[in-house]
Amino acid sequence: MTTPTSRHADRGSPVPGPTLAALDLGTNNCRLLVARARDQEFEVVDSFSRIVRLGEGVARSGRLTERAMARTLAALRVCARIIARNRVERTRCVATEACRRALNGVEFLARVRRSTGLELEILPNDQEGRLALLGCLPLVDPAAEHVLLIDIGGGSTELLWMHRQSTGGAVLRCAVSLPVGVVSLTEAFTGEPGEATFEDMVRHVQGLLVPIEAAYRIRPALSGARVQMLGTSGTVTTLAAFHLNLPRYDRRRIDGLVVDATAIDAVSRRLRVMSNHERATHRCIGPGRADLVVAGCAILEAALRSWPVPALRVADRGLREGMLHSLMGRSLEQALARPEAADDRIVLGSHVA
């Protein structure tokens, strides 16, 4: 049976479809993908990404600041122009943790609509995680019995546990959201932490993972099984680029890369001994992530201590790709179903770069 896949590719398809757009407004980033549907696949034709730090200060004040909203509006106006330029036919625009948490989040999205014409929905946590997993399914190892996905955001972190069944399908055993991300964790501690502060960060996140482990008993289920961990976030892709010593970020080298746990620890240690200035001048980090990447390392370290795995597969894909699939009428439930139950599902375990 031929099954659909998602891809960033330049190979054509004989059946052109509608042009789609997926916009993800997060706590730290504003990201857009524009893609053309072709048969059961899509081909990315345009994209945009800008660090806006919309959620800056929200953890303390509970409100979006005027400066953060102004930065974000400027980025969203660019997105609106890109969408218009590509004559997009179907669009899904979502806002995540910053607007979920901020008292003036709904008010800000009304302002966005008036200023740009973009209609953004506030995406619930559970839908965010499921869409991210949907977008990452092509990177699932065909031999993996269990898959853990960690999506480290600016204001929250999504954790999902998928168990592959002997029938050929898979079941989602756990999908939870932690109320901590790189922005909120950095603001709670310090922007340039030493080793002691880093350990405090890790222990703080581990404390949030304790009730999840108690409720779902993930660690015993993973014991002796073939387990894959997937990471999707700016933290994970930055760690991968830093690990490869790339002169500049290259998605083709990063998406699908497998990094063993010892290498992750080594890269994290190298990043932690650098100053914010040194991280800011590194081409694979930059000023927008310089003070946040250590907090991302702490979140990832907490997950690896709770559920030790030999390696992490890096995904430079996730929520936006999942949104594009949803615009094409697909769902995670279809994708995880038994093969004979759905012809329109995403391939589990293919890798299309």
Where a domain ends, among 88, 103, 126? Answer: 126
The verdict on residue 83 lying in a domain is yes
pLDDT above 60 for 9: no
| Integer Rg of the chain from CA | 19
pTM for the predicted model, two decimal places: 0.89
117 plus 132 within the same structural domain? no
266 plus 142 within the same structural domain? yes
Q: Which residues contact 326 (CB under 8 A, 6 or more apart)?
A: 92, 131, 134
The verdict on residue 5 lying in a domain is no
Where a domain ends, among 104, 126, 148? Answer: 126
Q: For residue 120, give the CATH number of its domain.
A: 3.30.420.40
For residues 6 and 35, is the Cβ–Cβ distance under 8 A?
Answer: no
pLDDT above 70 for 87: yes
pLDDT of residue 338: 56
Q: Which residues contact 26 (CB under 8 A, 6 or more apart)?
A: 54, 55, 95, 96, 97, 98, 153, 154, 155
* Mean pLDDT computed over 3-13: 45
* Tens of pLDDT, residues 258-298: 999 999 999 999 999 999 999 999 988 999 899 999 999 99
pLDDT above 70 for 342: no
Q: Give the C-alpha distances (Å, rounded to integers) separating 321 from 41, 81, 175.
A: 11, 20, 18
For residues 320 and 44, is the Cβ–Cβ distance under 8 A?
Answer: no
The verdict on residue 152 lying in a domain is yes
The verdict on residue 55 lying in a domain is yes
pLDDT above 70 for 10: no
132 plus 277 within the same structural domain? yes
**Of 248, 244, 240, nearest to 316 (Cα)?**
240
* Mean pLDDT computed over 68-80: 98
154 plus 284 within the same structural domain? yes
pLDDT of residue 15: 64
The verdict on residue 324 lying in a domain is no
Residues paired with residue 48 on neighbouring β-strands, in sequence order: 32
165 plus 282 within the same structural domain? yes
How far from the centroid of its chain's Cα atoms is residue 70's Cα? 24
Q: For residue 281, give the CATH number of its domain.
A: 3.30.420.150
220 plus 271 within the same structural domain? yes
43 plus 133 within the same structural domain? no
Where a domain ends, among 93, 109, 126? Answer: 126
For residue 207, the enclosing domain spans 128-314
Q: What are the start-end ranges of the E strands in 199-248?
A: 227-231
Percent of the chain exceeding pLDDT 90 equals 80
173 plus 233 within the same structural domain? yes
Dihedral angle, C-alpha 184, 187, 191, 195, nearest 10 °: -80
Compute the distance between CA of residue 203 and CA of residue 201 in angstroms, rounded to an integer: 6
* Mean pLDDT computed over 324-346: 71
141 plus 42 within the same structural domain? no
pLDDT above 90 for 344: no
pLDDT band at 337 (very low <50, low <70, confident <90, very high): confident
Three-state DSSP class for residue 133: helix
* Mean pLDDT computed over 169-198: 91
102 plus 165 within the same structural domain? no
* Mean pLDDT computed over 186-191: 87
111 plus 232 within the same structural domain? no
* Tens of pLDDT, residues 228-266: 999 999 999 999 999 999 988 999 999 999 999 999 999
The verdict on residue 349 lying in a domain is no
84 plus 167 within the same structural domain? no
The verdict on residue 178 lying in a domain is yes
The verdict on residue 82 lying in a domain is yes
Compute the distance between CA of residue 218 and CA of residue 101 in angstroms, rounded to an integer: 28
* Mean pLDDT computed over 151-160: 96
Q: Which residues contact 68 (CB under 8 A, 6 or more apart)?
A: 52, 53, 54, 55, 56, 57
Domain count, the chain: 2
For residues 139 and 167, is the Cβ–Cβ distance under 8 A?
Answer: no
